[in-house]
Chain A
Amino acid sequence: MSHAIEMRDLHYRAGKSFEIRDLALNVPTGAMYGFLGPNGSGKTTTIRLMLGLLRPLGGKITVLGGEIPREAPRVLARTGYVPEQPHLYQSLTVDEAFRFHSAFYPTWDRKWADELVENFQLDRGRLLSRLSKGEMGKLEMLLALAQRPELLVLDEPTDGLDPVVRRDVLTAVLEYVSQQNATVFISSHLVHELERICDWVGVMDRGRLVAELPMHSFKNGIKRLRVANAPALVGDAPFVLLSREVGNGAVETWIVRGWQPTMTQYFEGVGAALREVVDLDLEEGFVELLRTFRSPRN
């Protein structure tokens, strides 16, 4: 499997309080990769490192086959980027921003850009400083898409947008991906949003990559188990016990990862009884994952 983005042993430090250490990340080509993590976990910093906007202290970054930052201009020419905060020149009008941006991208699709302007109902003559947050979000997405990139890097693209605009933006992304088979790297702390569109997920917390796996594995592999007569020591369980909690009576609640239906036999072997297996949605799984990661054992 080829990777659109590869990071190896990435090390970066910002001040004394924040550090990214030994980060290894692989985004398969053509994947819709959701990059999850709470605020301040290092998502934006990782993206900036990925695009050559920040200089790592160590490690190796390869994007679309080009080494970053050495080959950043070549890579950026094939990458559409929507940053967390609007980064366009506020004193330009929408039309001027178009013309300025398109001048740097030989693959700029003017016809499609015009269509997107119509679809997004943007006023070409309006100053960027006068655009609403939703309009600005749509414009940023429009500029990233109209350059026909092989890779879309979207940093919290829907943060703060109303549901209608959010749907417009994500629909445009999905349409583009369906046409172009482009790779999308999308970061968010809105778990539900990614659950619907991503096929890969990476979870970041405190500068570390907590998990990286296909979305279906993530969604199906984390379960809440209700266990009676649970053993004190788990021993060689075929799953990963993320947490256990004593409930009413002798029944405990376990959160596990890597669960398979055939694993019920394990409980019989240790003298316990599995009363219930509950599917967790992505958000619950995400929360449990972080809680486990932050526990003193880790």
Chain B
Amino acid sequence: MFRMMLYTQWKWSRLLVVAGTLVAFAIPVLSVQSAGEYNLQHWEARALLNSIESWGLAYPILAAGLAVFMAMTAWGPDHRGRHVYALSLPVPRWHYALLRFGAGAVLLAVPVLAVWIGALVGTASAVIPPGLHAYPYALALRFALALLFAYAVFFAISAGTTRTAGYILAGIGAIIVVQVMARAAHVEFDLVGTIFGRMLGWPGPLEIFTGRWMLIDV
């Protein structure tokens, strides 16, 4: 059962997985290659780190992008068929959703492996200045966790009904309205900032995205 679920997921998302894997492999390699000119000047470690850091944004963007598209492809065919086929299959709803989630998660392991291998290749091909270290495992782990979390978010949203999506949008709208009203009333109350702060800081769900996405660091 899971094998067939994995097969259909692969069929629907193979372009995404292949493209994502290539990009995932390329980012760490390119980040080190583009910093190569600094390697000879070991006292320019800051410049090297800046160069590596400038690539750091690419990892969470890739993770979010892969997660969105994987979640969309996981549920897209069912949405198009108004879930009639999925619901007429002889498995409980939670079982079906778990199979779909698992299939997507397994396929997302491929870009994670690509980041890890790319990081190993990139660091192996570079001269790392004294005092700096390569963190291929930590980077791959961070990417894996961020990807898994983002996938869980978008999978949950995508699994919901139009009504659920409406509730989420209404919630976001309500927050914005409250913020606008507070500002109009000259009340010092940064609701949006507070919510973002809570989400980005520990133990918020987005904390994993806020860390340092550095292949090479002190």
Which residues of chain A are near B12, meaning CB under 8 Å? Answer: 91
CB distance from B118 to the nearest CB of A (A): 30
Is A52 within 8 A of B87, CB to CB? yes
Is A88 within 8 A of B85, CB to CB? yes
26 A–B contacts from the bound complex (CB under 8 Å) = A51-B87, A73-B92, A73-B95, A75-B90, A77-B90, A81-B88, A83-B84, A83-B88, A85-B84, A87-B81, A87-B85, A87-B88, A88-B81, A88-B85, A89-B81, A90-B80, A91-B77, A96-B7, A99-B4, A99-B7, A100-B4, A100-B8, A103-B4, A104-B90, A104-B91, A105-B90
Interface magnitude class on chain A: 20 to 34
Within 8 A of B (CB), among A88-115: 88-92, 96, 99-100, 103-105
Smallest CB-CB A-B distances: 7 pairs: A77-B90, A76-B90, A87-B84, A103-B4, A87-B85, A100-B4, A103-B1
CB distance from B74 to the nearest CB of A (A): 12
Which residues of chain B are near A87, meaning CB under 8 Å? Answer: 81, 84-85, 88
Which B positions have Cβ atoms within 8 angstroms of A?
1, 3-4, 7-8, 11-12, 77, 80-81, 84-85, 87-92, 95
Which residues of chain A are near B87, meaning CB under 8 Å? Answer: 51-53
Which residues of chain B are near A92, meaning CB under 8 Å? Answer: 8, 11
Is B88 within 8 A of A76, CB to CB? yes
CB closest chain-B residue, reference A89: B77
Which residues of chain B are near A52, meaning CB under 8 Å? Answer: 87
Which residues of chain A are near B91, meaning CB under 8 Å? Answer: 73, 104
CA distance in complex: A37, B153 (Å): 44
A89 and B85 contact, Cβ closer than 8 Å, known pairs A99-B4, A104-B1: yes
Is A53 within 8 A of B84, CB to CB? yes
CB distance from B4 to the nearest CB of A (A): 4
CB distance from A79 to the nearest CB of B (A): 8
CA distance in complex: A77, B92 (Å): 11
Partner of B8, one of A81, A89, A104: A89
CA distance in complex: A96, B12 (Å): 13
Which residues of chain A are near B80, meaning CB under 8 Å? Answer: 90
CB distance from B9 to the nearest CB of A (A): 11
**A8 interface residue per 8 A CB criterion:** no
Which residues of chain A are near B81, meaning CB under 8 Å? Answer: 87-89
Which residues of chain B are near A167, meaning CB under 8 Å? Answer: none
Within 8 A of B (CB), among A183-221: none
CB distance from B142 to the nearest CB of A (A): 34
**A74 interface residue per 8 A CB criterion:** yes
CA distance in complex: A88, B3 (Å): 18
CB closest chain-B residue, reference A106: B90
CB closest chain-A residue, reference B12: A91
Which residues of chain B are near A73, meaning CB under 8 Å? Answer: 90-92, 95
Given A74-B90, A75-B90, 17 more pairs with CB closer than 8 A: A51-B88, A73-B90, A73-B95, A77-B90, A81-B88, A83-B88, A85-B84, A87-B84, A89-B8, A90-B77, A99-B4, A99-B7, A103-B1, A103-B3, A103-B4, A104-B89, A104-B90
CB closest chain-B residue, reference A52: B87
Which residues of chain B are near A90, meaning CB under 8 Å? Answer: 77, 80
CB distance from B86 to the nearest CB of A (A): 9
Which residues of chain A are near B84, meaning CB under 8 Å? Answer: 53, 83, 85, 87
CB distance from B99 to the nearest CB of A (A): 10
Which residues of chain B are near A105, meaning CB under 8 Å? Answer: 90
Most buried by B among A52, A89, A91: A89
CB closest chain-A residue, reference B92: A73
CB closest chain-A residue, reference B84: A87
Within 8 A of B (CB), among A238-265: none
Which residues of chain B are near A100, meaning CB under 8 Å? Answer: 4, 7-8
Is B77 within 8 A of A53, CB to CB? no
